[in-house]
């Protein structure tokens, strides 16, 4: 006989929870998913992942035949245009690369029960990198960053598209939606959307400066190039790791924001999210950058030359503006002190990147 699921609190992989259970809570939705797609079970528990993940994702543990089975359930976000892309991408990437991605166990685009579309994946081993990244030894950080470089090199080597833009599905085929032939034009559109989004955040006063600072240097962004698959949310919070393994990264998660873009954009973004926004020591930054470059070049030829480094702050400022646009979602439940510290850090990064922009 099935019993209602329980909410569990943990302090390691998952952030602690404080959820009031009612008829409209995720308990009923998860139970509906298990009734439709899961095995018979004695009980289940669930947790929300921490480190900035969406509220639509749940880590579920089933009790079945005296054993525990762990899966991940993701429901379609409210503002999602093409939810089916993400589960399709898991198989698409797994077939074409060596990147560790969770296996899709179930995908329901039109569930029989009264719940949003959802998919269920296997839960891979490992801890969330974001919760431990700053405390790692330098040697372990270098191992993680070197593998991150190999993952990007693998991704950019094997999968290409005909134009730039967000990915979508057409007749079960991966295509580029609203495709654009010019990388510069598409990057400008993408960055403009990031600037528009900060109007609803504490950074609204920076909108004008962001546009004025970027407009003169956009001419330095290339027009042409081969569009490659880019995981546009590739950051420590979306990686699992286990330092006992030779290759410590055990999973790349959250393939929701994926586009066809130039590899140099993805590399500069990764440098920002893993290195420049995380560490202040120039020697630490240089060593991690060297590890990232070494890993990438082991999979794919690329020159990290002066032209790349001159464009790097352009891409990184765009990335920061994207992060600013999600500030309320990331820090809305934090204490006033935590929010104030995060806002100060974002503003400091903004000033640093504006001052690092090249001259057109």
Is residue 355 packed enough to be buried (19+ CB in 10 Å), middle (13-18) or exposed (0-12)? exposed
Give the neighbor-by-neighbor strand order of the sheet with 104-108: 6-7, 43-47, 57-64, 67-75, 118-122, 104-108
Region of residue 171 (left: phi > 0; alpha: psi -120 to 50; beta: else): left
Rounded Cα distance, 301 and 265, in Å:
15
Q: What is the DSSP letter of 134?
A: G
pLDDT of residue 50: 67
Rounded Cα distance, 71 and 78, in Å:
22
pLDDT of residue 163: 97
Helix pair 306-325, 207-214: axis angle to 10 deg: 160
- Domains in the chain with CATH codes: 6-122 (3.30.200.20), 127-356 (3.90.1200.10)
Structure tokens at 37: 């797609």
Q: Are 293 and 304 in contact (CB under 8 A)?
A: yes
Q: How many CA atoms are closer than 13 Å to the CA of 350, on its beta-carbon side?
A: 22
Q: How many CA atoms are closer than 13 Å to the CA of 4, on its beta-carbon side?
A: 9
Rounded Cα distance, 206 and 349, in Å:
12
- The residue written with tokens 């974001």 in the block is 130
- End-to-end Cα separation, the chain, in angstroms: 69
pLDDT of residue 52: 52
Distances (CA, A) of 208 to 149, 180, 275, 360: 34, 26, 27, 19
Question: What are the pLDDT tens digits along the chain (360 aa)?
Answer: 333 343 333 222 222 333 333 344 689 999 999 999 988 888 999 998 865 556 689 999 999 888 999 999 999 988 787 899 999 999 999 999 999 999 999 999 999 999 999 999 999 999 999 999 999 999 999 999 999 999 999 999 989 999 999 999 999 899 999 899 999 999 999 999 999 999 989 999 999 999 999 999 999 999 999 999 999 999 999 999 999 999 999 999 999 999 999 999 999 999 999 999 999 999 999 999 999 999 999 999 999 999 999 999 999 999 999 999 999 888 877 778 989 999 999 999 999 999 999 987
Give the neighbor-by-neighbor strand order of the sheet with 239-241: 127-128, 239-241, 249-252
Q: What is the DSSP letter of 49?
A: B
Q: Quick one: CA torsion of 248, 249, 250, 256, rounded to 10 degrees? A: 170
Instruction: Please report the sign of the dihedral spanned by the C-alpha atoms of residue 21, residue 26, residue 32, residue 36.
Output: negative
Find the helix or strand (DSSP H, E) in which 340 lies. helix 336-356
Structure tokens at 26: 């995720």
Rounded Cα distance, 18 and 15, in Å:
10
Which candidate, 323, 306, 315, 168, places its Cα nearest to that of 236? 323
């Amino acid at each position: 006989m099935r019993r209602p699921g329980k909410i569990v609190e943990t302090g390691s992989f998952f952030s602690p929870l404080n959820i009031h259970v009612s008829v409209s809570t995720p308990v009923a939705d998860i139970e509906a998913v298990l009734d439709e797609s899961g095995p018979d079970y004695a009980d289940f528990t669930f947790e929300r992942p921490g480190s900035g993940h969406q509220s639509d994702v749940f880590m579920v543990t089933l009790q079945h035949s005296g054993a525990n089975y762990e899966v991940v359930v993701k429901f379609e976000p409210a503002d999602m245009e093409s939810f089916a892309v993400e589960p399709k991408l898991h198989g698409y990437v797994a077939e074409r690369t060596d990147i560790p991605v969770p296996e899709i166990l179930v995908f329901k685009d039109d569930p029989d029960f009264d719940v949003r579309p959802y998919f269920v994946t296997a839960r891979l081993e490992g801890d969330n990198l974001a919760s431990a990244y700053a405390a790692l030894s330098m040697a372990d950080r270098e191992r993680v960053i070197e593998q991150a470089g190999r993952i990007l090199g693998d991704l950019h080597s094997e999968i290409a598209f005909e134009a730039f833009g967000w990915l979508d599905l057409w007749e079960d085929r991966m295509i580029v939606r609203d495709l654009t032939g010019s990388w510069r034009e598409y990057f400008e559109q993408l960055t403009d959307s990031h600037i528009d989004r900060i109007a609803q955040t504490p950074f609204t006063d920076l909108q004008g400066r962001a546009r004025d600072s970027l407009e003169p240097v956009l001419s330095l962004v290339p027009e042409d190039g081969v569009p490659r698959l880019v995981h546009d949310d590739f950051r420590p919070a979306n990686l699992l790791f286990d330092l006992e393994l030779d290759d410590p990264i055990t999973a790349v998660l959250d393939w929701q924001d994926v586009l066809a873009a130039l590899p140099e954009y993805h590399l500069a973004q990764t440098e920002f999210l893993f290195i420049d926004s995380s560490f202040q020591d120039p020697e630490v930054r240089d060593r991690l950058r060297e590890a990232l470059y070494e890993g990438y070049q082991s999979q794919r030829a690329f020159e990290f030359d002066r032209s790349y480094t001159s464009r790097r702050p352009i891409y990184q400022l765009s990335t920061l503006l994207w992060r600013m646009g999600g500030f309320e979602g990331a820090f809305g439940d934090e204490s006033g002190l935590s929010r104030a510290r995060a806002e100060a850090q974002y503003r400091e990064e903004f000033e640093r990147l504006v001052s690092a922009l090249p001259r057109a």
